[in-house]
């Protein structure tokens, strides 16, 4: 790559994808956006490797270098002994010192980013212990970072993490190649089809996760059959089990097996005293390999009824299925490691999800009156299995298998679509690499064009609307009610009006909802078991950490970085808009705890950022992840200028 001509790696097919963007027939992406996101010849074949190199740098910069004050962004003239390839480079350079390894990393970036949302513009250069510079690929960077963390933590080199990164690269490259083959297909369609496409088009994944596309245990054939990025549609597979084995609950007390039969239209008839359960086809294969299930099949207690019924669309989480007409989601179990976790539905998580829905229901009328454009998708029922011997002895000897049957019935999006809203998962716009950036740019340029606005003003107006839609209700629930949902990019849906303006903010996936002390008394009315109660209750500090990270760091920071797209003036303008939004919230809903938290942010107190790299390196459960301080511009930007 010519370092004097900084460009982001982006394949030709991503530009073609502009002609498929939802809500647009002829996107109005400006020449400036095109120039900043132009493809570099020859990089398409290595795009996944390049993306992972940059993601690893993202993670290390935030979680290690910023914390150790070993990172700086400087002009090339102020870099000590820079790489020769950057001598003529005129932009800013990110310089990271790895003192334990006696090494350095340098890469061109478009601008300073206090939050670590860098836009990389050159190759990444590595200086070794002999002071020699070379271009570093993902493997050199991964080896260096893992070795550095091994020295810091006093642990062996984590070869498993290296393998997981490699597997993530292979998956991402495969998915990019598939999209390249599909680039000519025109896919606008109905609002529901656009939503499905947003769920099934996350090509690069989490920009601050070392293995954003790792899926341990799937073959290439299984990838093609089950991955949302392949545009998969699949029938579910059905098992018959004794009704006495079923553990279930629902908001309205209705029999879930009847509701599932109506939703799936499987057309199967259960024997007396039995129920029929839907399973992900891969999970059904996994269960049939377990000795306890094979014994139950041999004894006639369990029957594998095969594939049947309606087809479902796998969404971004892979295990959550959307019904064809959008009426409901089914969150199924997968005993498969996807990014951090094995994705089966633990029983206490199922109960916690339903408890969160029960707690929220009495508040819906108040929330609708205050925030008419906010919606929480209810977890309406759950189902799991408990084997007789486990109940008899009071011990869950087969917990993994029992949880492997677990499922949640979630409210769908049909009502929102019927009201003229086009829902899109936020991660498809703001956490999806250059594909998302091009789509967001086209969307907002269309919005600005429709209203006769300059693009920069259109960006600020659009962002201000989005920020208020998201922040006001989520903060109100936390500070006034003690409820902390998890509104990160993949759990948030933005509903777009016909002109592309944000018209609705929808939160989903309530299993990790937490209740601060303000809401602990509400738990008493639900008669929750001890594990569920322990799971759902948390301190004020933990509740704030969850919301500050999920909403402000994982969500809003990514929106700002995406919309600014390397334009530092716009970047600061959007932070100023966010400052105004926070001030307006506090004026509208004065509350001592809200004042303490918001005034702290406006005075420069850091946000909490999750240590995704560190938790993977240390081989810890995701719930053990550390939260680290992340500084931001809120304390130094001026108040937003009047938008109109």
pTM of the predicted structure, to 2 decimals: 0.91
Task: State pLDDT tens for residues 388-403.
Answer: 987 776 778 899 999 9
**pLDDT cut 90: percent of the chain above it:** 76
Strands 502-507 and 374-376: parallel
CA angle 241, 302, 281 (to 5 degrees): 85
Task: Tell me which residue of 205, 268, 276, 221 sits closest to 246, measured CA to CA.
Answer: 276
Tens digit of each residue's pLDDT (9 = 90 or more) over 99-114: 999 999 999 999 899 9
State the CB neighbour count (10 A cutoff) for residue 147: 16
- Res. 2 pLDDT band, cuts 50 70 90: very low
Per-residue pLDDT, averaged over 27-55, amounts to 62
- pLDDT for the residue numbered 433: 85
**Residue 468 token pair:** 């208020």
Which among 230, 559, 199 is positioned nearest to 412, based on CA atoms? 199
Q: Cβ(322)–Cβ(199) under 8 Å?
A: yes
Cβ(210)–Cβ(612) under 8 Å? Answer: yes
Residue 172 has phi, psi (to 5 degrees) of: -60, -45
Residue 333, C-beta contacts closer than 8 angstroms, at least 6 positions apart: 279, 280, 283, 319, 343, 344, 345, 403, 404, 405, 406, 407
Kindly list the strands in the beta sheet with 92-98, ordered across the sheet, starting from the edge strand earlier in the chain: 71-75, 92-98, 103-109, 120-127, 133-135
- List, in sequence order, every beta strand (DSSP E) within 447-605: 483-484, 492-496, 502-507, 514-515
Segment 81-106 shows an average pLDDT of 95
Closest CA to 124 of 150, 99, 96: 96
pLDDT digits (tens, 9 = 90+) for 57-76: 999 999 999 999 999 999 99
Interior angle at CA 284, CA 283 and CA 286, nearest 5: 60
Q: Tally Cβ neighbours within 10 Å of residue 355.
A: 25
pLDDT tops 70 at residue 32: no
Q: How far, in Å, CA of 161 to CA of 622, rounded?
A: 14
Q: Which pLDDT score is estimated for 185?
A: 47
Averaged pLDDT of the chain: 89
Confidence of residue 532 (pLDDT cuts 50, 70, 90): confident
pLDDT in tens, 336-376: 888 777 889 989 899 999 999 999 999 999 999 999 999 99
Identify the CA nearest to 174 among candidates 136, 222, 138: 222
CB 329 within 8 A of CB 313: no
Summarize pLDDT for 205-239 with one digit per residue, the tens.
899 999 999 887 788 888 889 999 999 999 999 99
pLDDT tens track for 561-585: 999 998 999 999 999 999 999 999 9
pLDDT for 640 equals 61
Strand spans (E) along 315-444: 320-323, 328-331, 334-338, 341-343, 374-376, 379-385, 407-411, 422-425
Grade residue 630 by pLDDT with cuts at 50, 70 and 90.
very high
Quick check: 95 and 79 in contact, CB under 8 A? yes
CA–CA gap between residue 241 and residue 108 (Å, rounded) = 59
> For tokens 């500090």, what's the residue?
541
pLDDT of residue 639: 67
Q: What is the DSSP string of 398-416?
A: THHHHHTT-EEEEE-SHHH
58 neighbors 613 (Cβ within 8 angstroms):
no
What separation in angstroms does the CA of 170 have from each of 165, 183, 338, 407? 9, 20, 14, 30
Phi, psi (5° rounding) for residue 276? -115, 125
| Residue (of 404, 351, 408, 415) closest to 380 by Cα position | 408
Going by pLDDT thresholds of 50, 70 and 90, the confidence category of residue 606 is very high
pLDDT at 118 over 50: yes
How far, in Å, are 156, 403, 509, 520 from residue 621 at the CA level? 18, 17, 19, 26
pLDDT at 435: 87
> Quick one: tokens of 610?
């999750």
The average pLDDT across 136-163 equals 97
The predicted structure's pLDDT at residue 598: 98
Rg (CA), the chain: 25
Work out the pLDDT band at 537, boundaries 50, 70, 90: very high
**Phi, psi for residue 499 in degrees, rounded to 5:** -90, 5
Confidence (pLDDT) at 125: 97
Q: Token pair of 10, please?
A: 């982006």
* φ and ψ at residue 419, rounded to 5 degrees: -90, 10
The strand pair at 234-242 and 303-314 is best described as: antiparallel
Output the furthest CA–CA distance in the chain (Å, rounded). Answer: 80
**Measured between alpha carbons, how far is residue 585 from residues 546, 594, 598, 603, 644 in Å?**
19, 9, 9, 16, 20
C-beta atoms surrounding 480 within 10 Å: 16
Helix (H, G, I), strand (E, B) or coil at 74: strand
> Helix (H, G, I), strand (E, B), or coil: what is residue 138?
helix
CB 544 within 8 A of CB 514: no
Q: Could you tell me if 75 and 92 are in contact, meaning their C-beta atoms sit under 8 angstroms apart? A: yes
Q: Is pLDDT of 6 > 80?
A: no
Instruction: With beta carbons less than 8 A apart as the criterion, state whether 510 and 356 touch.
Output: yes
Structure confidence at residue 49 (pLDDT): 95
Which strand (E) or helix (H) includes residue 614? helix 612-617
Cα distance between residue 247 and residue 391, in whole Å: 11
pLDDT of residue 68: 97
| Statement: residue 1 has pLDDT above 90 | no
Answer whether residue 20 shows pLDDT above 50: no
Cα angle 167, 173, 177 (rounded to 5 degrees) comes to: 145
Q: Are 43 and 52 in contact (CB under 8 A)?
A: no
Three-state secondary-structure class, residue 272: coil
Decide: helix, strand or coil at residue 577: helix
Q: What is the pLDDT of residue 643?
A: 56
For residues 188 and 27, is the Cβ–Cβ distance under 8 A?
no
Provide the phi-psi class of 188: left if phi over 0, else alpha when psi is between -120 and 50, else beta: alpha
Identify the sign of the CA torsion 456, 459, 463, 466: positive
Residue 546: the pLDDT is 97
């Amino acid at each position: 790559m010519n370092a004097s001509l900084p460009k982001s790696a982006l394949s030709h097919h991503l530009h073609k994808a502009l002609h498929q963007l939802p809500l647009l027939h002829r996107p109005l992406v400006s020449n400036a956006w095109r120039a900043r996101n132009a493809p570099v010849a020859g990089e398409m074949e290595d795009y996944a490797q390049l993306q992972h190199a940059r993601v690893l740098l993202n993670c290390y910069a935030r979680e290690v270098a910023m914390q150790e004050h070993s990172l700086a962004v400087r002009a090339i003239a102020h870099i000590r002994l820079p790489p020769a390839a950057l001598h003529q480079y005129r932009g800013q350079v990110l310089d990271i010192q790895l003192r334990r390894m006696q090494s350095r990393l340098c890469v061109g970036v478009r601008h300073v980013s206090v939050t670590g949302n860098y836009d990389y513009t050159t190759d990444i250069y590595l200086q070794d212990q002999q002071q020699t510079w070379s271009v570093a690929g993902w493997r050199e960077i991964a080896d260096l970072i893992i070795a550095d963390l091994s020295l810091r933590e006093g642990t062996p080199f984590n070869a498993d993490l290296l393998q997981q990164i490699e597997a993530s690269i292979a998956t991402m490259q495969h998915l990019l190649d598939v999209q390249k083959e599909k680039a000519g297909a025109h896919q606008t369609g109905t609002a529901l089809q656009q939503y499905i496409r947003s769920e099934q088009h996350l090509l690069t994944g989490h920009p601050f996760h070392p293995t954003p596309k790792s899926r341990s245990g799937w073959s290439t054939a299984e990838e093609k059959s089950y991955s949302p990025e392949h545009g998969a549609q699949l029938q579910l597979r059905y098992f018959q089990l004794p009704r006495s084995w079923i553990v279930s609950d629902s908001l309205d007390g209705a029999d879930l097996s009847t509701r599932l039969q109506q939703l799936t239209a499987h057309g199967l008839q259960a024997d007396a005293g039995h129920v029929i359960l839907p399973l992900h086809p891969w999970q059904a294969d996994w269960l049939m390999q377990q000795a306890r299930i094979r014994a139950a099949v041999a004894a006639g207690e369990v029957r594998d009824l095969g594939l049947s019924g309606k087809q479902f669309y796998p969404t971004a989480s892979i295990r959550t299925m959307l019904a064809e007409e959008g009426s409901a989601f089914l969150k199924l179990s997968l005993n498969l490691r996807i990014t951090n976790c094995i994705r089966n539905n633990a029983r206490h998580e199922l109960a916690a999800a339903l408890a969160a829905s029960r707690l929220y229901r009495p508040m819906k009328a108040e929330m609708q009156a205050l925030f008419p454009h906010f919606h929480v998708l209810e977890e309406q029922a759950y189902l799991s299995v408990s084997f007789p011997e486990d109940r008899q002895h009071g011990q869950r000897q087969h917990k993994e298998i029992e949880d492997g049957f677990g499922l949640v019935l979630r409210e769908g999006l049909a009502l929102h679509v019927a009201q003229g809203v086009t829902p899109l998962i936020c991660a498809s716009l703001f956490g999806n690499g250059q594909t998302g950036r091009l789509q967001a740019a086209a969307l907002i340029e269309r919005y600005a064009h429709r209203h006769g606005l300059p693009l920069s003003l259109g960006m600020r107006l659009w962002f201000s609307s989005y920020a208020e839609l998201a922040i006001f209700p989520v903060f109100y629930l936390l500070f006034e009610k003690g409820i902390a949902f998890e509104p990160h990019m993949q759990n948030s849906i933005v509903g777009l009006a016909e002109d592309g303006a944000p018209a609705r903010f929808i939160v989903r996936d309530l299993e990790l909802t937490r209740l601060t002390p303000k809401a602990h008394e509400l738990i008493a009315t639900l008669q929750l078991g001890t594990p569920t109660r322990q799971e759902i209750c948390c301190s004020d500090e933990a509740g704030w950490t969850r919301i500050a990270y999920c909403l402000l760091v994982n969500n809003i920071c990514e929106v700002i970085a995406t919309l600014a797209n390397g334009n530092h003036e716009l970047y600061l303008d959007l932070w100023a808009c966010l400052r105004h939004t926070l001030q307006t919230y506090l004026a509208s809903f004065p509350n001592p705890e809200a004042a303490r938290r918001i005034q702290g942010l406006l005075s420069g107190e850091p946000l909490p950022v999750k240590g995704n790299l560190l938790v993977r390196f240390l081989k810890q459960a995701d719930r053990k992840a550390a939260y680290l301080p992340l500084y931001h511009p809120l304390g130094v930007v001026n108040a937003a200028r009047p938008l109109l």
